[in-house]
A and B are shown apart, each in its own frame.
Chain A
């Protein structure tokens, strides 16, 4: 009985140690940080397989816009990659004027970016016209 209680306490202690709060500003890669009860050499393949099966990928958290001191609209898209592998993709930002019309600019091209595995990422863009007041963004897979 005493042995069982000690074992249980040990498991709980290890579990709590593994779940200790990490600084969210720092993302430690899976193969860099320490293993714990939940994520270890045994469970990793299962977790990866599950992630792949449910099709985890990139998600956008928020889009921040502001007009800089020169009057140009700046955009920062903040998101995170839920997958266990880096995801490379292309995005295109189009700028819209007050009437909702697309501003004709050569900067609205498909540009490449990459989101590291299980990590946050950001995309920055600047409208090259002061007439731009809004934006829309499209993404696509890198053509193979």
Chain B
């Protein structure tokens, strides 16, 4: 009986070890030269591609060179996610803002944002605390932000990410992603620059694109 139990335990453990050996190992993604297959959803490579092409389009347009020198102050407007996926639109905008700022053409403001929400709430809360609160006396007056120092934005950037699903014959589907961005002149409301990047994916209709 004991022999049978031991034999069963040995068999069970060897089967378990076999399955453990077959399970895919966790590995770090080579984000520099990723050889991974395309996926129906949006992954980081798609955001990289869209952001890269958007930035190059902005730089090539030649519209961001300010007459008389200096840089345009840009506020981030609303980026609508009209896809079936839970996307943080900063995945796209973070790259675009970073690269445009580093290009020396524009500077982003953290004081003004879409829906009257500043990009960084500390811009105002630090003023309230250090200048207007009962703790204001604790701060060196020379280091406290004076009134009338914030720079108003001249341009705003807004956009949309759209998804369209199209069913093909032979059990295939096509998913189209449209990345739309525009830079608007806040003084006169004119669209300063605009671009659309389309990424398409075609694959098995059983694969869920969200």
Chain A interface (Cβ within 8 Å of chain B)? 68-70, 72, 74, 105-112, 124-130, 140, 143-144
Between A and B, 14 residue pairs with Cβ closer than 8 Å are A70-B105, A72-B59, A72-B103, A105-B102, A106-B48, A107-B55, A107-B99, A110-B34, A111-B49, A111-B53, A129-B104, A140-B33, A143-B34, A144-B37
User: Which of B37, B59, B100 is packed against the most chain A CB atoms within 10 Å?
Assistant: B59
Q: Which of B34, B52, B59 contacts A70 (CB 8 A)?
A: B59
Q: Which residues of B sit under 8 angstroms from A128, Cβ to Cβ?
A: 55-56, 59, 99-100, 102-103
Q: Which of A70, A111, A140, A143 contacts B65 (CB 8 A)?
A: A70
Q: Which residue of chain B is the closest to A143 with respect to CB atoms?
A: B35
Provide the bound-state CA to CA distance between A143 and B34, in Å.
8
A109 and B59 contact, Cβ closer than 8 Å, known pairs A128-B102, A130-B104, A143-B35: no
Provide the bound-state CA to CA distance between A128 and B35, in Å.
26
Q: Which residues of B sit under 8 angstroms from A107, Cβ to Cβ?
A: 51-52, 55-56, 99
Tell whether, in the assembled complex, residue B37 and residue A125 are in contact, meaning their CB atoms are under 8 Å apart: no
Q: Which residues of B sit under 8 angstroms from A72, Cβ to Cβ?
A: 59-60, 103
Nearest Cβ on chain B to A70's Cβ, whole angstroms: 5
A106 and B52 contact, Cβ closer than 8 Å, known pairs A74-B60, A126-B60: yes
- Tell me, yes or no, whether B98 is within 8 Å of chain A by CB: yes
Q: Which residue of chain B is the closest to A68 with respect to CB atoms?
A: B62
Tell whether, in the assembled complex, residue A143 and residue B37 are in contact, meaning their CB atoms are under 8 Å apart: yes
Contact with A along B39-71 (1 / 0, CB 8 A): 000000100110111011001101011000000
Tell whether, in the assembled complex, residue B52 and residue A111 are in contact, meaning their CB atoms are under 8 Å apart: yes
DSSP class of B's interface residues: helix, strand, loop or mixed? helix
A-B complex: 3 closest residue pairs judged by Cβ atoms: A107-B52, A109-B48, A143-B35
Provide the bound-state CA to CA distance between A112 and B38, in Å.
12
Provide the bound-state CA to CA distance between A143 and B43, in Å.
15
Q: Which residues of B sit under 8 angstroms from A143, Cβ to Cβ?
A: 34-38
Nearest Cβ on chain A to B111's Cβ, whole angstroms: 25
Q: Which residue of chain B is the closest to A74 with respect to CB atoms?
A: B60
- Tell me, yes or no, whether B95 is within 8 Å of chain A by CB: yes
Q: Which residue of chain B is the closest to A108 with respect to CB atoms?
A: B52
Q: Which residues of B sit under 8 angstroms from A109, Cβ to Cβ?
A: 45, 48-49, 52
Q: Which residues of B sit under 8 angstroms from A129, Cβ to Cβ?
A: 102-104
Provide the bound-state CA to CA distance between A58 and B160, in Å.
35
Q: Which of B33, B56, B104 contacts A110 (CB 8 A)?
A: B33
Tell whether, in the assembled complex, residue B62 and residue A69 are in contact, meaning their CB atoms are under 8 Å apart: yes
Other than A72-B59, A111-B53, A143-B38, give 7 A-B pairs with Cβ distance below 8 A.
Answer: A70-B59, A106-B55, A106-B98, A108-B52, A110-B45, A110-B49, A125-B56
Q: Which residues of A sit under 8 angstroms from B34, Cβ to Cβ?
A: 110, 143
Nearest Cβ on chain A to B68's Cβ, whole angstroms: 14
Q: Which residues of A sit under 8 angstroms from B103, Cβ to Cβ?
A: 72, 128-129
Q: Which residue of chain B is the closest to A107 with respect to CB atoms?
A: B52
Q: Which of B35, B53, B99, B105 contacts A105 (CB 8 A)?
A: B99
